[in-house]
Each structure stands twice: as C-alpha cells, then as structure tokens.
Structure 1
Amino acid sequence: MDATSQSREHLRPWIASYPEGIDWQAQIDTTPVHEQVLAACARNPSAVALDFLGGTTTFGELARKIVAFAGALQSEFGVTKGSRVALMLPNTPFYPIAYYGVLRAGGTIVNCNPLYTVPELSHITANAGADILITLDLQQIFEKGEALLAAGNVKSLIVCHFPDALPFPKKVLFSLFKRKDLAHPSRSPHAGKISAFGDLIARNRTPSAVVIDADKDIAVQQYTGGTTGIPKGALLTHANIAANMSQIDKWGCGLFYPPSKVVAVLPFFHIFAMTVCMNVPLCNGTQVVMLPRFELKALLDLLTRTRANVLPAVPTLLNAIARADTAKPEHLESLEVAISGGAALPDEVRNAFAKKSKAILAEGYGLTEASPVVCCAALRVASKPMSIGLPLPGTDIRFVDVDSHEVVGIGENGELQVKGKQVMAGYYKNPEATEEAFADGWLRTGDVGHVDEDGYVFLVDRIKDLIICSGFNVYPRTIEEALMTHEAVEETNVIGVPDEYRGEAPVAFVKLREGQSVSETDLKHFLAEKLNKIEMPKEIIFKDALPKTLIGKLSKKELREEYAQKKAGKP
C-alpha cells in the first residue's frame, strides 16, 4: 500500500470496520432507474413484482404498463426531457407504473404528498412548473387535484380509478359499499382536462427513445419537508438516484434479491421509501408488498400472509409494533431485517422491538439531498448500538466545528458533511440555498455528531434543534433518550423555548403509555439521576398525542407554535 492509499485509509476509518464482502471502493452503477427496472422485468416476466392487498402484478405486466404509459405521456401530453410531472398518489400499483413511465418518457418526477393542503400543493406544483398531475379518484385526494387544475397550477389531470388496484372480490365490495368515497371526474366542470389512467395505458402507444445524460438530467425534483420554511426542490439526477441504489444494494449483501420480499408501508412519495422500498428491490427483481397507509393490524396481517422479510420503517412505526399487545412474535417471525430511518431511533424502542422480533434492527441515516442514504448499520451482522452505522460504499464524510468551521478529530462533535455520487445537483431555481447547502463541495447536513476510532458514526442532534442554555449546548435527543427509559413514557419530544434567565430552556412534551400515570414532579425526580441541571426540562407537558410529520416522524414545529401561542395567551 503506497503512502497516498495509507493516508486515505486514515481519513476513512470506517473501511476497516466494513462487513466481510463489502468494498468501499466498489464500482457504483449509475444506469438510469427506469432502464434498470425494465431490464429486471425482461429477466423474469412471470415473477410477482407487486402485491397490493392480495392483488398481484407480474414484472411482465409492470413493464407493459410502464411502456404504454410512457408512450401516452409523449404522444398525448408532449412529455419530453425536462417536463415536470407531479405524482400525488398513495402506495398503490399505480405509483410505480406512473413513476417509471414518466422517467421512460424523459420527464422529471415531482412527488406530492396526498395529505398536503391545497396551498402547500400549489406552491410545489407552481414552483416546479408541473403541467401534469397524476392522482386517484378517491374523493378526498381528487378534490385537491381538481382545485389545482381550477387554479391553473396544473394544466392536466391523469386520474387512476382506485378499484382497479384491488383484487377480486375486494374490487366488487368497494364498488358496492364505498361508492360514496369515489369522485366522478367525468362530471367535473374541468372534465375536458382530465384523462383516465387506465384508458391511456389501454391505447398501448409505443414511446420514442430518449437519450438520458445520467449525470446532468434530473430524474426527481424532491421537495424538502418544509419544517423550517418554504419547501425547496432538491434536484436529483438519474446518476444520483441510481448511485444510491447501487450503494444500498452493495451494503445489503444480497438482501434485496429474490426470494426476499420488501414491505412498503412507508409512502413511496417519501425519498426513503422511494429508494429503499421501491427502486432497489424492483430493479433486482424482488417483490414489493404494499399498504396504502400504516395500520397496525393491516401490517401484521400482511406480514403473516406474505412472509415478507425486510421492513423499512420509521421509529414511531417500530415503537407501535413493540408496544402493542396485539403484535405477537409469531406475526414477526418472517422478518430478517428491519431498517429504521427518518428520525433517531431511541434505545428503548430498539430494546422493546428486540423482545418481539429476532430480526436485525439496523439504523440508517440520510437526507433528501443525498437521495437519501448516507450511513447505515450492517444489515447482515450486528453493529455498534446507538450508532447510525458506517458510510455507504463510495460515500465520504467529515465533521466540522459548528463555530470555527474547522474539521474536527475522531470523537469530537461537529456538523456532519457528505460527499458522494448520491449528493444532489442543487436546489431548483434557488442559487442562494444551493450555495448555503454546500461547504467546499461538501453537502452540509445540519446534523451534529462524531465518528469514533472504528469509523462508526454517532449523531447528537440537529443544529437547528440545539438549545443554548446559559451558554451551554443542550441536545434535545439527550433528554428524549432519558425520558424514554421511564416505563410510563411511550413517546416524547423536546424543544427549546425562550427563557429570561438562561436565554433558552428545554421543555418536554410527553405521551404516556395506555393505563400508565406519572406526575411532572416524579418524572423530574426520575430524570435527576440521568441529566445534569442544565439539561433538566423547565417544564414537562403531558399530551394525549404528539404531532407527527406525514411519514410518522415526531415533529417539533407544531410544538413550538403551540407553546408560543400558549405563552402569548392565545387559545
């Protein structure tokens, strides 16, 4: 090994800790995802690609519909390279068909959460310049699409008929007993601008070839959550998306190949699910079993019926499984790996889940701007507890002092910064935000943590969530971890609030487990042995439910607003 290689090894301590068979310097595949999925369909057309509530779609069917939809988009809507097409769909077979069809036609995906309000959807579609919106004829969702059409935010709607996704006899039963839940697009005053998804596919148009420059052409314009302001459109190239898939694939050591089955209960419109629950398995010819939304009984029934072995999840979902008396070990016996992402995984949730399931519970970390995965615990062998694991193949990280901006050493806390082929091209039409997102070519994550001598990464908190209390740094996650060790606490979220004496002070919001009770005084007494005086919450507020983002991540935004209104004397 030459001096240069030795120097690089020193800068990448994680390489020595890599599980056997994984090479950090392995070649990263950047073949566009739609090309990969169509190749997978051609390899085994009779295998099942999608399972939706018991109804199945083979890889052959999937390919036929992707190609037909791409042909319709080109010939009837003029979709070409650079066209923005918005998807507002829950997890159904329509989503992957539409997603890959748009990419095959040369367009760019703009994901829209069906639970967003019309003003939020108006901002995204207008900012992106999306002329077409693909959605469902379920009344609650269709009404939003119709409002966007009426306001001129989009020019055309393509509407999927929800019963078409259902297997017999569920399709018949839905049509009989749930008809009131369906909209009637043909009766809309804007019917002339509305097309039926099924009709477009039935025309079986052949799309023309589109030459993709993977490094430059944008596959997905993914809008950030907007918890701290107006959502920004992260520009993810075809190479960004494909690179992260390749990195995850190598990290999985065959996990995402048949006969595996991957559970998609997290919504595809979220970047984590789009990559880990859909793109990676389908491009490897692996079955994806879907739920349109999270319901514990439905998830347990799905696991029992399908014997799925891979469960990407968020901590609140894992907590729901771990705490529910109805979730028995036999429901989870098929699980080999659960991958936690989207938020920090509390140690108490990890321990509680381990009592229900023998599956490896691997915590990962990523962000929209990195397509999204940066680090992950090993998926086949045990990893260091409380760590988000190691950087994926081809991914470089460093930690930089928040104040001095100097690179810090092993074990020292700083802002995590990332380099790799999965890192976005920038934000759409927002050069100021793009410049702010990078430091010397490194993506700034806004997360504080450190790397240990073995290369394992540990996060402490978000920079924006850091509480400066009497001049000392207080991390909400430290307080949350301490609270979660109390047997009565089911969920907790800690924010910083203005304080005349200390500048800022922590306030904890707590949801108790059903049938449990504890007073604020007793809880503070419990915390006294776990936290220092500066970290002790100024106030503990008990709530029946804690606000969550639309993928189930605990949200601080609403709590800050609620506390501010309370202090201002507003109801």
Structure 2
Amino acid sequence: MSSESVADDADSPAGGPSAPGSRQVGWNSRYDHPVDWSHRFEARSVPDMLLQTATRYPGRTFIHFEGRNFTYGEIADRASEAAEGFRRLGVERGVNVGLFLPNCPHYVVAYYGIMMAGGTVVNFSPLYTADELAFQAEDAHVDTMVCLDLEQLFPAIAEVQARGILKTLIVGNIAEVLPPLKSLAYRLFRRGDRARIGYGRTRLRYDSLFRNGKISRPAAIAVSEDIALIQYTGGTTGRPKGALLTHANLSINAAQVHAVDPEPGNLDRILGALPLFHVFANTCVLNRSVLAGDEVILIPKFDLDTVLKLIPAMQITTLPGVPTMYRAMLDHPDIANYDLTSLRICISGGAPMPAELRSAFVKKTGAAIAEGYGLTESSGVVSVNPYLTGGKPGSIGHPLPGTQIIIADREDPHHILPQGEHGEITVRGPQIMRGYWGRPEKNEDTFVDGRLRTGDVGYLDADGYGFIVDRMKDLILVGGFNVYPSTLEAELYRHEAVKEAIVIGIDDKRLGQRPKAFVVLEEGAEVSEAVLLSYLNEHVGKHERAAALEIRAELPKTMIGKLSRKELVDEERAKSASCC
C-alpha cells in the first residue's frame, strides 16, 4: 500500500482571486477554520489509516458496542485476517463486495478487510427491499455479500441470491460480537430474531474468514486511482447511481474534517448513531475517527432513549447527526434530566437545520452545533461552520481546506457569477469522486470545467460563507416564476404549532404548478389546515402562495432520517393521473 501528497490544483478558496475566470473575489482574507485553506493533505489507502493508528495505539479502544470494547489492535488484526479470507474467495483489485449490514463490528472489520485485500466496498442499506438490493447488486457487479442472520434482514438478501444474482453470502450473527453474558442471553432468548441460514458452499459463516491467519502482504493500492468505495446515491430522480470514491478521496476528506477541529489532539468519543453505510457517517464517524485514533460508541441505529443515556454514561464528546435526530432529542419529555455537558460539538448535516430548531436545541442543552454540507459525490463533506464560533446560523459554513465552492449560472454553468448572486453550487476539491459507475453519460452532465455540479442553488456572502437556497430539481415553476420550497418551509417553521414541514409542487392547469404544503404539528398543538394555509399565504409573495396544505401524523424520511419529498411527489402524481 502507498500514500502520496494530493491536493486540489486550485490555488485559492471558494472562488478567490486565483480561481481562473472567477468574479467571486475579495473575501479570502477571512477564513475562519483553524488551518490554512492551502494546506496539502497526504493521500493514503483507507486500510493504511487503520494500520498506522493501530501501530501507534494498539491498546486504545476503537469500537464500543453493546458493552464490549474492541481495541485498534484487535480490529486491525481481524481486518487483516478477513483480508486473507476475502483473498481466498477471489477478492482482489477490481472485485466489488457488498456490505448489507447495520452498525456493528462486522461492518468495520469487513470494510477495512475488503480494501486490504484490494477489493472495493459497495454499501447496501438494510432498509432496501429485495428489488432494490437486486438492482444495485446487478448494477455494481456484486456477487459476494456480507450480511447478518437477522430475521428482519436475511430473507430479502436470500431472495436476491435465489434469483441467481449473488453467488456467495457471508453471514454473521450479533451474538459473536457481544460480551460473554449478553452473548449467552442472546443465543438463549433471542432465537426468534435469527433466520434459518442453511450454511454450505454458497452460504459461509462470517467466522470462516478468520481461519487462515493474517494476509501475508496487503494488496498494492494506487491511492488516487483505485476505487475504495462505490457509494450509491438516494435515487430521488431516476435510478440510483454509484459514486466512485478513491482511497485518496476518502482519506483526504477524513483529514480535511479532522483539520478543521480546533482541538485535534483531544481524545474524542464519537457517537456512532448515523448509519455507517451512509457517506456522512462513513467519513465523519468511521474514517475520521480512525485517522485521529478516537473512540466510536457504536449503536445499531438511532434510538432516542439509548442516545440520551449513552451521552452521560460514556462521556460522549462529539455527536454527528441530522436535524430530525436533534428534533427528537429536543422533544424528549425528560431532556432536562439528562446531563449532556460532555458534548463538545454537535455536527449537523444531511439537510438544512431550521433556525428555530437550532436555537431551541442550543438553549435547552448548552451544546454547540456546527452545520455542514456535503454530498455522496464529495466523499461526505464539502464545508462546515467553524466549531468554536458556530459560524453563521443557516449557513453551510466555509469550505474545507483545499476545497472551492463556486457559484455558476444555472443555465450556463461555465459562467461563474459575482459573489452574492444566486446560482448553482459547484465544487472542486481532492475529495470529489472520479465519476459514476458505468454511467459515462451522467459524468458529462455532472462535471463542468473540472467542477462538480451539485444541483443545489445557493450563494456566497461577503465573508465567503455559503448558503443554500434550494435544490434545482425541487424548484416550483409558478406561471414562469421560480418558487423555492425552502422559503415556504421556513415560514411554516416560524409558526409555533409546526414541528415538521415539506413543500412540493403540484400540477395546476392555469399556472403550470402551485405549491402544496405538508406539516406535522407539535404535540398538543391544535390548529386547522385552513388556518395554517392562511398563515402561510399571508407571509409569502403572491406567486408563492400555496394551493393546499395537509396536516399529517408523520412525513416520509430517508434512510438517515432527513425529510424526503420523493414519496409525496409520487403520491400527488398518482392522484393527478387517477383523476384525469
């Protein structure tokens, strides 16, 4: 395995004076992160990060899971043994292996072990249906999958194997990673949670990976060329696409995130509640922690009571999350009874955090919140507000070192707009993907002049702080006017009765489209749909007025818990089709 010095070829931040053709100038004297924007990062292979940290801190706890501690030395040894096991199964450079796992030690070991053998990891969400699993496995040329024997997960992956798409399943069980007493209790009293596997030539036990010792020589990896991870997008428009993330992309993004921490020498305890199969957690929880030698308190999924108990019990210092997680914590009736003072920083990403939620959370808990921004295609993180000051509420912060945020004309992305004007956010940096797996036509649409087109509409203020206005695909076209759903959602959040809100466009014969709002009320709130609709329309422009508003018990969410428009758009389209 190898490493090299890699940085973006741009010479100045966020459209600064040295960016060719840029008109966004004059702010680069202010950069609020505690590291120079021009800092160059060493690109390494992803397993090298683990091996180097394990060499420095072999006895330090890496993973705490359900009461059991795994040290860096133990995980590195297990990953090396798994690498040999994978190698004997034919895993090498160019071979893609799937992980269909919740947060658990199996994921961590297999993730680094596959890469150590030279293979590429493909993440699969445990929320996927059999059809979604089948599509992605076929698309990514995956024929080997690591999974668990959980009854709620295994039948779906078994169906995919029965279709002939997957050749080999490597099946683990939770009992083998629990403390002895918990393991015994699980085996005795939780048998109903486990599926019948039928082990054999095509269904192997997870522990069979570890029967041949450590890999004698980890695969040689070209860090800037070899793909470490194929991370699929959410597929909100068209079929999902696999972003090709190199070892350099992932290792540098981990280093960038670590570099903006003003206290990088502190031993942090990170709460691993976000799913590791998602790019946000993959960088901010897993790889960044490995790079720094931090401890990850890993839980299978976000459970509110578990999180609130773990924070004081484990003295958790860092909590990466999405706005709905912070909302759930804030709404807990006994939040005041939990000591959250160990929290040094809460990192919010995945979706914009409403200003009212941010203010209320900080006031009630005393914890600082730093909002950030990133995409699957950027290995996870593009920008973040400074940790110490919190930056500017509602902003996505300053770009990470070596990263440019450039605002381009939405119709002509080659044309860069003056600072302060609204346009499409484009990004250049060493963490940007190589392209999409098997989709050359999408690569042509996604990159312009070496910049990634994000599809987000935003602007940079005079201090170089980025702000997102909306998604280009979510724009509502009302009689020729652009209406941003986020504008209406922000107004709804200002109403004391509104807990969650989504606005979408629905068909309108006269104007083409009109906004429609969907809201969830705060517990105990009593307000009618008509009153809320009237409130909203009184506070927005005439062309932005909503045609309808629905109050619902809950709104759809993505796999990491952020609000999702897709299901509501599909629902409204089906209604429109059935009545015409």
TM-score range, shorter chain: over 0.9
Q: Which moved more, 1:488-497 or 1:515-524?
A: 515-524
8 Å CA contact 1:461–1:475 kept in 2: the answer is yes
Deviation at 1:380, TM superposition (A): 2.4
Deviation at 1:12, TM superposition (A): 5.9
Deviation at 1:241, TM superposition (A): 0.9
Q: Choose which of 308, 312, 317 in structure 2 pairs with 1:309.
A: 317
Deviations 1:175-199 (A, max 9, x none): 22211111232x26xx321111123
Aligned position for 2:259:
250
Cα distance change, pair 33–14 in 1 and its aligned pair in 2 (3 A): farther
Matches within 5 A, 1:332-411: 332-405=340-413, 406-411=415-420
SS in 2 for 1:454: coil
SS in 2 for 1:444: strand
Cα distance change, pair 14–28 in 1 and its aligned pair in 2 (3 A): farther
Q: Which amino acid aligns with 1:315?
A: P
Q: Choose which of 123, 132, 152 in structure 1 pairs with 2:144.
A: 132
Deviation at 1:123, TM superposition (A): 1.0
Aligned position for 2:328:
320
Q: Which moved more, 1:162-171 or 1:78-87?
A: 162-171
Q: Which moved more, 1:106-115 or 1:246-255?
A: 246-255
Q: CA RMSD in A?
A: 1.7
Deviations 1:162-183 (A, max 9, x none): 1112224322222222111112
SS in 2 for 1:17: coil
Q: Which moved more, 1:396-405 or 1:409-418?
A: 396-405
Deviation at 1:469, TM superposition (A): 1.1
1:81 matches 2:89? no
Deviation at 1:502, TM superposition (A): 1.7
Q: Choose which of 530, 533, 537 in structure 1 pairs with 2:546.
A: 537
Deviation at 1:443, TM superposition (A): 0.5
Q: Choose which of 437, 441, 463 in structure 1 pairs with 2:472.
A: 463
Deviation at 1:202, TM superposition (A): 4.0
Q: Which amino acid aligns with 2:338?
A: E
Q: Distance in 2 between matches of 1:528 and 1:226?
A: 32
1:57 matches 2:70? yes
Deviation at 1:14, TM superposition (A): 5.5
1:454 matches 2:463? yes
Aligned position for 1:107:
119
Aligned position for 1:94:
106
- TM-score under structure 1 normalisation? 0.95
Unaligned runs of 5+ in 1: none
Q: Distance in 1 between matches of 2:164 and 2:534?
A: 57
1:42 matches 2:50? no
Aligned position for 1:492:
501
Q: Distance in 1 between matches of 2:514 and 2:332?
A: 34
Aligned position for 2:158:
146
8 Å CA contact 1:310–1:337 kept in 2: the answer is yes
Deviations 1:377-423 (A, max 9, x none): 11222311111101110001211121243211111100000111111
8 Å CA contact 1:12–1:455 kept in 2: the answer is no
SS in 1 for 2:18: helix
Q: Distance in 1 between matches of 2:549 and 2:28?
A: 43
Deviation at 1:19, TM superposition (A): 2.6
SS in 2 for 1:359: coil
Q: Distance in 1 between matches of 2:107 and 2:346?
A: 23
Q: Would you say how many aligned residue pairs link Structure 1 and Structure 2?
A: 562
Unaligned runs of 5+ in 2: 1-10
SS in 2 for 1:272: helix
Deviation at 1:51, TM superposition (A): 0.7
1:173 matches 2:169? no
1:192 matches 2:205? no
SS in 1 for 2:29: helix
8 Å CA contact 2:123–2:232 kept in 1: the answer is yes
SS in 1 for 2:338: helix
SS in 1 for 2:260: helix
Q: Distance in 2 between matches of 1:102 and 1:115?
A: 22
Deviation at 1:43, TM superposition (A): 0.7
8 Å CA contact 2:143–2:166 kept in 1: the answer is yes
Aligned position for 1:280:
288
Deviations 1:32-75 (A, max 9, x none): 1210111101111111100112211011111110100001111x
8 Å CA contact 1:240–1:422 kept in 2: the answer is yes
8 Å CA contact 1:15–1:24 kept in 2: the answer is no
- Percent identity over the alignment is 41
Aligned position for 1:72:
85
8 Å CA contact 2:457–2:470 kept in 1: the answer is yes
Q: Distance in 2 between matches of 1:562 and 1:165?
A: 42
Q: Distance in 1 between matches of 2:474 and 2:146?
A: 36
1:297 matches 2:294? no
Aligned position for 2:231:
222
8 Å CA contact 1:329–1:357 kept in 2: the answer is no
SS in 2 for 1:266: coil
Deviation at 1:553, TM superposition (A): 1.2
Q: Choose which of 18, 32, 41 in structure 2 pairs with 1:8.
A: 18
Q: Distance in 1 between matches of 2:56 and 2:412?
A: 53
8 Å CA contact 1:258–1:285 kept in 2: the answer is no
- TM-score under structure 2 normalisation? 0.94
Aligned position for 1:120:
132
Q: Which amino acid aligns with 2:428?
A: K
Q: Which amino acid aligns with 2:85?
A: A
Q: Which amino acid aligns with 1:266?
A: L
8 Å CA contact 1:370–1:422 kept in 2: the answer is yes
Q: Which amino acid aligns with 1:56?
A: N
Q: Choose which of 43, 47, 66 in structure 2 pairs with 1:30.
A: 43
Q: Distance in 1 between matches of 2:422 and 2:409?
A: 7
Matches within 5 A, 1:504-523: 504-523=513-532
Q: Distance in 2 between matches of 1:128 and 1:517?
A: 49
Deviation at 1:274, TM superposition (A): 0.4
8 Å CA contact 1:68–1:207 kept in 2: the answer is no
Q: Which amino acid aligns with 1:483?
A: L
